[in-house]
Chain A
Amino acid sequence: MNYKTAGGIFLLAIAMLSCKSDEQPAYTPTSYDLQIPEGFPEMEIPEGNPMTVEGIELGRKLYYDSILDQNQDRACATCHVQQRSFTSGPDVLPHVNLGWTYNWLWKGDVQGSLEDIMEFEVQHFFFTNLDNLKSDTEYPELFKKAFGTDEITYKRIEMALAQFLRTVNSGNSKFDKVQRGEAQFTNQENLGFELFFTERGDCFHCHATAFFTDGLLHNNALDANPDPGHFAISGDSLDYGKFKSPTLRNIEYTAPYMHDGRYATLEEVVDFYSEGLEKSPTVDPLMKQLSKGGVQLTDEEKAALVAFMKTLSDPDFIQNPEFSGIF
């Protein structure tokens, strides 16, 4: 062995030792295998926020914890009540199948991903005080498990909430079971199904896709002098009176209805679409029977539409312990 060889071995040994001493044990949270209900499209999950068991558990705990509120008065779940498909009143859109949502809130205040709307909720609704979480006895460790660091940031709170909400999916209603060949509609539900998906009832244009919403903003002819709606956000006069189409999944659990909760029952909602439409300049032309006041359904047809909408109820969803606040 000459001096060059010996020197090389020495340097290599030093390098190996130094690598070993600097190296932190790699932290790998447990990857979560999201089950998508049959008939639903794939969910786009941001590369920067992969779903993990630890991240979802953290998100769920945060969802039910009033620590997010700067005054610690209320949690997400205070207004988003599982037994009511994660709503509690007209101001609160239900938290269901949000992983496929792009327009947020009734007036379309926010566009983007779940992380984007959680940023709005955490920083501009709850005005979360990070010090409350940092000084908590549990959260630093839970963040470390979820993200490999106990440093608590707004972004990591938002990421954890988004991960949890991507699991909060409803796709096991009677409607879904009929689609899978596991159940059958009654004659009345079947009539409602036909009315819903043809221009006779004409519900499908706005309540489209597997989620029973197009997620878009429309003026649905509620008022002759409508609430400004999305105009308040965009400033575009064409957006006057426009509100987001809500999902009809679990609609039975989410009364009262419309953005201002003016209708207490589904029967009242159907009456409105049948004969209660009001003209205003920005009514969506999809409300094609506006000049007749509505689609003019018979009593039998109205009852059938309500019966069909109730097949979108998913009792498993509102009782699922994985979404509950019981840990």
Chain B
Amino acid sequence: MKIVKFFLLIILGASTSCTNNTVQPEETAIELQFLHNVNGDPLELDNIKYTNAVGQTYSIKTVKYFISRVTLHRTDGADITIPDIHYVDIRDDATLTYELSEKIPYGSYSGISFVYGLVPEDNVTGSLGLEIDRLMEWPVPMGGGYHYMKLEGDYNEAGNFFNFHSGSLDGVDYAIHVDLPNSAFDANTSKLNVGLVMEISNWFKNPVDWDFAYWGSGIMGNADAQATVQKNGTDVFSVSFPSSTL
């Protein structure tokens, strides 16, 4: 009888360990792909072919920015916020796709939100490493931290530059908490590709038609300009779900 009990225990132990090894949590990896449009079409860099709402022609030469704190909203009300900060440079292909550092459980999600720029606790000079400091540092005398975005180009003629740089100014935060419209999805595959589209022309309209000549070539120290960028930026981003993989 003792021998029977012994083998029963072994079988029980083995079956328990098998169960633990085979049942994996069902999770989805989220890969973001950053896309940049003007008037609905893919951006063509270095070409003064676009026209803003006040009739000025313009080109785009630089698009560098941060997104952070991507949040996946579950239909059951639970939110999953990924504490990542991602830097995007349209001229650096390596930055144009990015897999979130944490997977999310299978289930139904009501939408996606994120922060354009950095929340104050992330926006600390030197905290993102020297490589990012070189590219995006915001001077300490203007409040420190990082540029949220460098959007640059010509207007009216080549060499007539605008620097549409946004960031927090003197302690006032001008980041944008973006709730992506039409971003509900079901996580039921191992990987979900999410296209994050920046409609660049929207930075220059709604509610304020941006006049490059009025605001001047540089706006970093102008609180009104930073507030206007923040207002205009609320409808700049949208989402697409190009495909998913099992």
Residues of A within 8 A of B (CB): 41, 100, 102, 193-194, 197-199, 202, 204, 208-209, 214-216, 279, 281, 283, 285-291
A199: chain B residues at CB < 8 Å are 163, 218-221
Report yes or no: B140 in contact with A208, Cβ–Cβ below 8 A: no
In addition to A194-B141, A199-B219, 4 A-B residue pairs with Cβ atoms within 8 Å of each other are A216-B135, A285-B152, A285-B163, A288-B163
Report yes or no: B159 in contact with A283, Cβ–Cβ below 8 A: yes
Query: CB within 8 A of A285: which of B126, B142, B153, B219?
Result: B153
Given A198-B142, A214-B134, is A291 in contact with B221 using a C-beta cutoff of 8 Å?
Answer: no
A102: chain B residues at CB < 8 Å are 131
Residues of B within 8 A of A (CB): 61-62, 126, 129-131, 133-135, 137, 139-142, 152-154, 157-163, 217-221
Give the A-B contact count at a CB cut-off of 8 A.
67
Distance in angstroms from A201 CB to nearest chain B CB is 11
Report yes or no: B134 in contact with A209, Cβ–Cβ below 8 A: yes
Distance in angstroms from B124 CB to nearest chain A CB is 13
Instruction: Return the chain A residue nearest B153 by Cβ.
Output: A285
Bound: A102/B217 CA distance, A: 30
9 residue pairs A–B, Cβ–Cβ below 8 Å: A41-B129, A102-B131, A197-B139, A198-B220, A198-B221, A199-B220, A209-B133, A209-B137, A214-B134
Bound: A283/B159 CA distance, A: 8
A281: chain B residues at CB < 8 Å are 158
A197: chain B residues at CB < 8 Å are 139-142
Report yes or no: A193 in contact with B141, Cβ–Cβ below 8 A: yes
Given A41-B126, A198-B141, A198-B142, is A285 in contact with B220 using a C-beta cutoff of 8 Å?
Answer: no
Instruction: Return the chain A residue nearest B221 by Cβ.
Output: A198
Distance in angstroms from A107 CB to nearest chain B CB is 18
Which 3 pairs show the lowest CB-CB distances between chains A and B? A199-B218, A285-B152, A288-B217
Distance in angstroms from A217 CB to nearest chain B CB is 12
B137: chain A residues at CB < 8 Å are 204, 208-209
Distance in angstroms from B8 CB to nearest chain A CB is 41
